[in-house]
Amino acid sequence: MKQIKSPGKKIICLNRKATFNYFFLEIFEAGISLKGSEVKSLRDGKGSIADSYAIDNNGELFLINSHIPLYRQSSYNNHNPKSDRKLLLNKKEINKLIGRINQDGLTLIPTKMYFSKGKVKVEIAVAKGKKLYDKRQVKKTKDWNREKVRLLSRNNR
């Protein structure tokens, strides 16, 4: 019998450092223009968007500094692992994002790369960088919440 696959999301990679280093103001889903060997490498679960960001180039958005490793079975048609990759969005969304990144201190950071219905998608956040004291405050609240849960669990025994 043939199994039916659910059209859910298969996460390829996450940008865990982004939540620690940035405040997210708005989140968009964008397609990404890839070559065949890049898609095959991503299907193996390889890829990294840890230090990547998006920039504007002549009215188009490009993902810079993302790493998709070479696909071994691809011979002469292989890709450059660190090349810039075009993001696929509507013109209205592109204009909105370009307007937002021209504001002071805002940038476009990819937070997640995943497969959705067989297509590679990138979740992009309009983000503002955190200062050092913001990072300390976030860490402090996380530690306090963890300690609070421990104290409550001891009292419930």
Return the bridge partners of 109, or none.
125
Q: Is residue 27 part of a domain?
A: yes
Kindly report, residue by residue over 3-26, the tens digit of the pLDDT.
555 567 888 889 888 888 888 999
148 has a pLDDT exceeding 70:
yes
CA distance 7 to 145: 36
The contacts of residue 38 (CB under 8 Å, 6+ apart) are 68, 71, 79, 85
Q: Is residue 4 part of a domain?
A: no
Kindly report, residue by residue over 54-112, the tens digit of the pLDDT.
988 888 999 999 888 887 777 777 777 778 889 999 999 999 888 888 877 789 999 99
Q: Is residue 45 part of a domain?
A: yes
Total domains in the chain come to 1
Q: Is residue 116 part of a domain?
A: yes
CA distance 142 to 108: 26
What SS3 class is residue 132?
Answer: helix
Q: Is residue 123 part of a domain?
A: yes
Q: Is residue 66 part of a domain?
A: yes
Q: Output the domain CATH number for residue 72.
A: 2.40.280.10
The pLDDT value given to residue 7: 61
Q: Is residue 153 part of a domain?
A: no
Q: Count CB-CB contacts under 10 A for residue 75.
A: 8
Q: What is the identity of the amino acid at 59?
A: G
- Note the helical H segments in the chain: 16-21, 36-43, 91-101, 132-155
1 has a pLDDT exceeding 70:
no
Residue 81 per-residue DSSP state: T
The contacts of residue 5 (CB under 8 Å, 6+ apart) are none
The pLDDT value given to residue 2: 53
Q: Note down the domain range covering 70.
A: 9-130
Q: Is residue 151 part of a domain?
A: no
Indicate if the alpha-carbon torsion angle 111, 16, 13, 83 is positive or negative.
Answer: positive
